[in-house]
Structure 1
């Protein structure tokens, strides 16, 4: 019965879209409907208008895009977003919030074919697309990630899902974390896990020093590569003599860039841009988040070195342009609704981010703290350990609603 109601609602909305477009002199036909966890995308193919002399001219996609407010009113929607046109499709996408949103679980994405196809151990589960398809990415190929969004947008949950993805796929021998949390509330739950190079850094005056240590580590790795005749970390580890310890990846998580830029803007910008430009080959990757994507925080130099970016809901179109170089993020719904811009995509992709509960974070951190006293299990190998950790994380996980923060 619910499916019949949902189908009837979709048909009604498609009809409303066509009637509204026709009423404003921009006729179009709904040719495809793609339903995701939070929004439904109606694919509208622009129709033809008869002009003077009987000549037929197709409606411009820009004309349809300008009717966003009228369509929002006609549909009675909280917000709509128009993608004109949808890359790779012959239509305009009109994205309308669903009556009921569904949660995207980390496990659903990590067990998908899309995640399993990632050859690197730095795969991260991002969410589901507008058609419900799981979306995952390889941090090693990004090679750094910039995340922006206001309070309650899902930014913090996204950072946690990235950390959880990496913890579930890597032993402490394979991956190390450096975490920076000036607010002292977002990342301190990870203190005590064996992957940390040092306890979560919370003192502002120490942060720039920590980043300088990372640059020295990068330089030292390049010296070791040169001596070994290796091009990058994978090449170096591949030719290590038997029994020697692998060089681990290092992922640097910075929870609030704005605090650093207020304290020491020039030094912070210089260190971050140098790392972003050079650190990839050494296996060092940056994940930087901010609530305030203004030009004095996300400078042009920083942005130029972070081609992969995620925008959650922001305050206005100016903030959206800072993070994505285009408007659109101001129309997002919050609670995990995001625009994901990768270096190999012509336009940002709308996703519903995965939700990781506090209970799941607690389970995975407890699991890894226990491994510090259980070397036998830690030696079991990545694949078995990953599955075991995933099972442990999912135990008694809360069924709350999807991601704020």
Structure 2
């Protein structure tokens, strides 16, 4: 049966969904609502993301590894071994935002959470490969892996549900018997009791089926729940157990639909009533009770703008709801009592510092004290894209012990990561350890002529408001490497370098722009080459000019900006394309003429030499051009060792890195991590012989 809501136009659908506090439903949403309405309101209406335990993260990492396994299985390619699967899972765990870890008594630090999650997922993957026959013995073909169904209108128990279904199935296969089966991977500490399987899994199974069949038009025969218990079975029995549900019987399907519809109907009614009162279940052991009470007090005290997870299309509805909640609450409860209650609730959230009424500096001191390190935040500097906290450290304290807890600091400070300098920072004659926290930039560092002194090209300002520069007259810093992902501020930085260089009196500025980005910037007095053949020719001519300068003893400054040089190198001519071919005499041959036979030269097209590759010409300019005034800035988005080799980096004493996707990218450019945690929009790190350590700075903005 097709839902009546399936044929709504875009405008009709927007108007229809505008009546509800949420825009979709899922099985987990119905399950949460049935168990604890207040938890559903917190998570689905207000978009709260609860922290996850080490066990939960391990389960997510297990799913990540199995996704790769079955994608290869589907493609009939070589299947990964245990080490390959563990690497996928460990990467997932390592890349989990520190703010998402739920610290508990057994795992009071992020590092301990990571250790436990890694050990747990390793057991799960060992079990999976050992008992893989539970999966593959009957599979003929894999149809879908980690399939997401979004916005599917379905009919449950004969009723068209007015909200679209969002669902995810781990695996859909065709068996050798011809049956179509949905498979759900589950990691467990203990198996689901046999007598509870139908009740606990049946509603989830029918949700998958209704969504998948409505979307794909394929009838599903069975749903398997394969549970992997990470604690070892004492009787040495298999760790993987399959709980199959036969869905071929219409009576069986109808039974599960009735069970699902009961909770779903109540959910739809609640989200269609902005005045609905969501009941809190104090006995719910799947939600942090203190967190839930803390959320409840926020709805009594805060405005809609303070809830960052709300669906923007629902802001007005929830704003009206909050006003009524606060008006009602304040009439019956004194606001002072509400605030006191919030503080008391937060005290029960033992390890979640984001709920504590503490300043950032107090959290830094408190977290490190808990791990036995006594520090004092002596100075705070509010930068453009980050804040710097200077820590005064007791004598004898090992700096490495603080470095090892940076994830715990990030968790407590509610940021994705923190950067802790490897060297001590000297400020006003005293040594401190600098801790940097990224933040949303509240002001721009605008381009200004007054920051230019001689040939010292301003790159930006650090959090101490000191100008960070690149000195074109310093022979130890002739060339600069600039790296950064899209949106990181790399192109704006290059533009400001060009403008400062013009002001400094650099008359010859050349831009090699294979992506045609600078063509649109309207730069005056600058030569721009974008076609790959033009770029190659320009570099050839620059090498010729360099050799002429060497002979003449000239040192006139020439700035070359080579944007996306890696792309140009890959596009440049190679091999036989660089051969120089000429007609040459290879002997004599007879030719008949009206006067008789005569000997004439025999000509043949032959290779007489070869041109340098684009990469070779760039290397020559980098190595020899520095002494005759050439200054080169090479920029790229790709921070890989194939692009930025050790030899290439040796030619760039100045290394500038804006935000990059991963820590390994930062290490390729700067030899240490940190750039992966930058805020973007000109927030950068620079390594230069002119500075004793890596410096964080904000780049200039020039419209």
Same fold (TM over 0.5): yes
Question: Is 1:92 aligned with 2:433?
Answer: yes
Structure 1 residues 144 and 99: CA distance shift in structure 2, 3 A = closer
Secondary structure (helix, strand or coil) at the match of 2:639 reads coil
Question: 1:180 & 1:272 partners in 2: Cα distance?
Answer: 11
Question: 2:671 & 2:369 partners in 1: Cα distance?
Answer: 32
Which residue of structure 2 lines up, in the alignment, with residue 25 of structure 1?
A: 372
Question: 2:536 & 2:547 partners in 1: Cα distance?
Answer: 17
Shift of 1:98: 4.3
Which residue of structure 2 lines up, in the alignment, with residue 403 of structure 1?
A: none
Which residue of structure 2 lines up, in the alignment, with residue 72 of structure 1?
A: 410
Question: 2:412 & 2:624 partners in 1: Cα distance?
Answer: 51
Question: 1:125 & 1:340 partners in 2: Cα distance?
Answer: 12
Which residue of structure 1 lines up, in the alignment, with residue 633 of structure 2?
A: 287
Q: Which of the numbers 211, 226, 229 marks the counterpart of 2:539?
A: 211
Shift of 1:351: 0.1
Q: Which of the numbers 378, 393, 400 marks the counterpart of 1:46?
A: 393
Which residue of structure 2 lines up, in the alignment, with residue 257 of structure 1?
A: 565
Question: 1:331 & 1:148 partners in 2: Cα distance?
Answer: 14
Question: 2:424 & 2:570 partners in 1: Cα distance?
Answer: 39
Shift of 1:34: 2.4
Question: 1:100 & 1:249 partners in 2: Cα distance?
Answer: 35
1:169-188 counterparts in 2 under 5 A? 169-170=504-505, 175-188=507-520
Structure 1 residues 180 and 100: CA distance shift in structure 2, 3 A = closer
Shift of 1:139: 2.5
Q: Extract unaligned runs of 5+ from structure 2.
A: 1-357, 575-611
Structure ID, larger Rg: 2
Deviations 1:118-160 (A, max 9, x none): x33xx32211102222333322322111100000000000001
Question: 2:511 & 2:473 partners in 1: Cα distance?
Answer: 18
1:267-306 counterparts in 2 under 5 A? 267-306=613-652
Question: Is 1:318 aligned with 2:664?
Answer: yes
| RMSD, aligned α-carbons | 2.1
Which residue of structure 2 lines up, in the alignment, with residue 163 of structure 1?
A: 498
Q: Extract unaligned runs of 5+ from structure 1.
A: 1-10, 49-57, 226-231, 234-247, 358-405
Shift of 1:67: 1.0
Shift of 1:204: 1.4
Aligned length: 303
Question: 2:630 & 2:441 partners in 1: Cα distance?
Answer: 40
CA contact (8 A) 2:662 2:676 kept: yes
CA contact (8 A) 1:125 1:137 kept: yes
Deviations 1:190-230 (A, max 9, x none): 46x3x33x4x21111332221121111000011111xxxxx
CA contact (8 A) 1:272 1:302 kept: no
Question: 1:84 & 1:96 partners in 2: Cα distance?
Answer: 15
1:173-252 counterparts in 2 under 5 A? 175-190=507-522, 193=524, 195-196=525-526, 198=527, 200-225=528-553, 233=555, 248-252=556-560
Question: Is 1:336 aligned with 2:682?
Answer: yes
Query: Structure 2 length normalisation: TM-score?
Result: 0.41
Question: Is 1:136 aligned with 2:477?
Answer: no
Which residue of structure 2 lines up, in the alignment, with residue 105 of structure 1?
A: 446
Which residue of structure 2 lines up, in the alignment, with residue 380 of structure 1?
A: none
Question: Larger relative contact order (C-alpha < 8 A, sep ≥ 6)?
Answer: 1
Secondary structure (helix, strand or coil) at the match of 2:681 reads coil
CA contact (8 A) 1:153 1:334 kept: yes
CA contact (8 A) 2:483 2:656 kept: yes
Structure 1 residues 286 and 93: CA distance shift in structure 2, 3 A = same
Question: 2:442 & 2:403 partners in 1: Cα distance?
Answer: 25
Shift of 1:275: 1.1
Secondary structure (helix, strand or coil) at the match of 2:378 reads strand
Secondary structure (helix, strand or coil) at the match of 1:90 reads strand
Deviations 1:315-370 (A, max 9, x none): 1121111111111111111110100111232321100111111xxxxxxxxxxxxx
